[in-house]
Structure formats: C-alpha cells, structure tokens
Amino acid sequence: MIFRLGDFRFPDDPARLYPDTPDRPWVLEIGFGDGRFWPHYARTFPEPPNYLGVEISGVSLLKAHRRLKDAGLTNAVLTKLPAEVLVAQVIPHGSLDAIIVNFPDPWPKAGHEDHRLLRVPFFQVAASRLKPGGAALLTTDHDEYFEFACAQAEASGVMRVERVGPPPAALETKYAQKWRDLGLGVNHARFVPTRHDPVPNGTFAPYSEEDPAVPHAVLTLPADFSPQHFDKLTVRGKTWTVVLLDLYATLRRGGWVALAHVVEGDLTQEVLVGITEREDGTHLVRLAKFGGPIITPGVKAAVGAVTEWLEGQGAVVKHRGY
C-alpha cells in the first residue's frame, strides 16, 4: 500500500498500519530503490515481517510497489518522503526490529557530508525508534562513507558498531549487482543501540476538516479590499521558512487563495490558504484541505503570514487560531 505523509499519524501505531499482522516484527528500509531487497529478505523469515519502505524517488516507489505486489507481500507500506521526516515524525519510540540501509547515496564530494543520512542525529533518533534487540544494518560499496558512518555511530554515544558480513539479500539489490559487475566489494555493519533514550516525535498533526486545530484566523477586510497585485513574501522562523508565492481570486465562492511554499528541515509542503467570506461579513483565513497538508509549525506560520499580510492591507483581526 502506498501512503502519503497525510495518511500517517504522528506518531503512528504499527497495529493500525498492519491490522492483519499486528504481532509480526517491523522492518524499515530506507532508500529501497527498485525494491529488490525486500522479496529476498522477507523470505528468510518464517512469515514476512511488516515492512515500511521509504524513498524520495517517485519512479522507484512505483517500481517497488509493483515488485512487492507481484511477490504477494501485502503487509507492506511504501511512502515517498525523506527518511529523516518519517523516522522523526511517524515512527514511535521502541517499535522497529530493524532499519535497513542498502547502498545509501554517498555524497562523495568534500563539504557535502551534511547531506549524508548516516550522521549523529540520525543514529540518535534510530536508537530511540528501535526495540531492545533491534539494529540498523548498513551495506555499502563506498569505503569512505562506511568509515564515516561507523565513526558517526560511535560518536552518537548510543550505538555499538559490529562489522559483520551482510545478509545475502543485500547483495541482490540493483546497486549491489552494479558494483559486483564492476568487481567492487561491499562493507557491512550492524549498529546496535546501547541506549534507548526517547527522542520525542515532533508536533505534526494530520488535517481533519472538522478539527478546530486547523490553523485559521477571522478578520474584517476593508470595504475597498480588491488586491490587484501581490509581491512574493518570505518569512523566516527558527525551524521554518514560508514563502507566500501568489494570491488568486476564486470565482465560485468569491474570495481568494494564497499559495505558500513551506520548508521545515527535510520537509517541503506547498499549501493553499483560503480567504472566504462568512455570513456575518467577516472573512475566514484557513488552511485548505487541497493537496493533503500536514499541520506543522511552518504551516501554521503560513496562515499567520497570510493574516499579517492582510493586516498590512488594512484588515482587522478578530481571532487568531494558528
């Protein structure tokens, strides 16, 4: 099954994600590519564990989805997201049996280490998300990244590094085959948590139409409010950047819609903020459902930015709910 970020809870519950197999082990694979690993690895268990796969490539997502379907692996959830967002926001403390990372992008150029997944912050969150007895498994052809990842795991203070042989399934992926054809070897490590300090999930919330928590404001617009142009506007907070890109008039209900680009760490969302007239003549500024937004501090700030832009145009705010 393919999940969007908005289909998850924050944190989610494996029993909700896998209602037919809630008692099986839970394995997360990061950067599954075309999905060759899981059919091989799942076969090494008496029953296929519950699988959560995360990828940033949409093409890979569709290829892997077809592969898992053809293999009859139904207790599998695939999602197109940066792994960092999924691990930090969706996965509960102490819930995973394994985290698998096969041939992660090595970011080999000097100065690009910050783009690497396997750094201290990742290991700290991973140690929280793994169950006692669980481990993160890395297989890579890239010697320098391998040493870097082992050093980062040690530096995290929450992982023990075991340099052991890879599971045979890790040698069946597309990239494993590519490097094997070039005559290159692989490195493998198990990162075993030595501590399980909880790293709290964030403050994300799903969008629910009736929920009063949907960010909004109520205001009175000046009688002559009729914007003819809109200049792009950027607002920065500690953890987010909001860019109000444009404002559109809506024809069906009267009113306007602002398009906002919201960046918070690894997560980017494009959201719409509606400005609609209410029966009493005031206007409601509210995050729109369109596009399946997640309610985050940055998205609340986008509603705030639209409200404050309207104040700059002479609106008087009666209520702020963001």
Residues known to be catalytic: 105
Question: Helix, strand, or coil here: 279?
Answer: coil
Residue numbers belonging to the annotated binding site for substrate: 109, 141
Of the candidate spans 12-20, 42-50, 100-108, 202-210, the one that interacts with ligand SAM by CB under 6 A turns out to be 100-108
Helix (H), strand (E), coil (C) string for 217-238? EEEECCCCCCCCCCCCEEEECC
Residue from 28, 77, 78, 83 touching ligand SAM (CB under 6 A): that is 83
CB 190, min distance to ligand SAM, A: 17
Contact string 130-169 vs ligand SAM (x = CB under 6 A): ----------------------------------------
Is residue 62 within the footprint of ligand SAM (CB under 6 A)? Answer: no
**Site for ligand SAM contains 245 (CB under 6 A):** no
Query: How do beta strands 256-264 and 267-277 pair?
Result: antiparallel
Identify residue 35 by its one-letter amino acid code.
Answer: G
Using the minimum distance from each CB to ligand SAM, give the nearer residue, 60 or 152: 60
Q: Which parts are annotated binding residues for S-adenosyl-L-methionine?
A: 29, 55, 105
Q: Of 175, 207, 240, 322, which lies in the binding site for ligand SAM, with binding defined by CB under 6 A?
A: 175
Q: Which residues contact 221 (CB under 8 A, 6 or more apart)?
A: 283, 310, 313, 314, 315
Query: How far lies 303's CA from each of 83, 218, 247, 274, 298, in Å?
Result: 27, 11, 13, 9, 9
- Closest to ligand SAM by CB, 56 vs 288, is 56
Residue 139 exposure: Cα atoms within 13 Å on the Cβ side: 23
Closest listed residue to residue 4, CA positions, set 86, 71, 124? 86
Minimum gap (Å) between residue 80 Cβ and ligand SAM = 9
Tell me the residue ranges of DSSP E strands in 11-104.
Answer: 26-30, 50-55, 76-80, 96-102
Contact, 246 vs 258, CB < 8 A? Answer: yes
Given candidates 103, 122, 207, 322, which one binds ligand SAM under the rule CB under 6 A?
A: 103
Report, in Å, the least distance between residue 65 CB and ligand SAM: 14
Least distance to ligand SAM, CB of residue 49, Å: 18
Q: From CA 102, how far away is CA 19, in angstroms rounded? A: 28
Bond from prior residue into 46 cis (ω within 30 degrees of 0):
no
Site map 7..36 versus ligand SAM, x via CB under 6 A: -----------------------xxxx---
Residues engaged in binding ligand SAM (CB under 6 A): 30-33, 54-57, 60, 82-84, 102-105, 117, 173-176
